[in-house]
Amino acid sequence: MTPHTRMYLIRHGQVVGFDQPRYNGQADVALTDLGIEQYHLLKERLVGKNISACYTSDLSRCSTGAAIICQAFGIEPTVHRELRELDIGAWEGLAWEEIKSEWPDDWQARFDDLVNYRVPQGENLLDVEARVMPVITQVVERHKGEEVLVVAHGGVNRIVLLNAIGAPLAGLFNIEQNYGCLNIIDYYEDGRATVKLLNG
């Protein structure tokens, strides 16, 4: 069988303000008590796996949880700023309803061209892909035949998953990523990737 690298890709736990849809972007929002508990549950789910390394976004909603899970494996998380969520610029911290009210044309423009549209002072999906995927590629190359953990964000994870199945970025919202979910991707030496678990 072809050797592969198995990646356990996690979305961070529930955050403060979860009950009102908003763009947190790169704001360092806090985890709720449930968000912390979700990480402890993930740690229990992963006990018995042979995870040899962990990579995480530097935002605390990811790095805090990465540290919790890593306790089970005696490893330290490696922090990567490049794994941060999409920079949503002028919309950071704003609820969707506020944006639709204040920037109705921009709101519509983003959904008309999800891949290329860039929020004022922010990033588009191509920008995020360009900073995230080199890190993912390096992780896979560095840990051939191993099992690794990556803790990141909803948007980042969707881009990684779309890349794994060879789907276009325009399909970003065709993939769900709940708080505290687990995805499993196997990366093979011949360049193939298989998503074994999605939003689990």
- The CATH superfamily assigned to 4-144+155-197 is Phosphoglycerate mutase-like (3.40.50.1240)
pLDDT of residue 179: 98
More confident residue, 21 or 149: 149
Dihedral class, residue 65 (left if φ above 0, else alpha if ψ from -120 to 50, else beta):
alpha
* Contact between 142 and 71 (Cβ < 8 Å): no
pLDDT-derived band of residue 104, with 50, 70 and 90 as boundaries? Answer: very high
Q: Does residue 199 surpass a pLDDT of 80?
A: yes
- Quote the pTM value: 0.96
pLDDT score of 32 more than 80? yes
- Largest CA-CA distance found in the chain, in angstroms, rounded: 55
Confidence of residue 8 (pLDDT cuts 50, 70, 90): very high
Continuous H helices in the chain: 33-46, 60-70, 96-102, 104-112, 125-142, 154-165
The pLDDT tens digits of the residues spanning 134-157 come to 999 999 999 999 999 999 999 999
SS3 24: coil
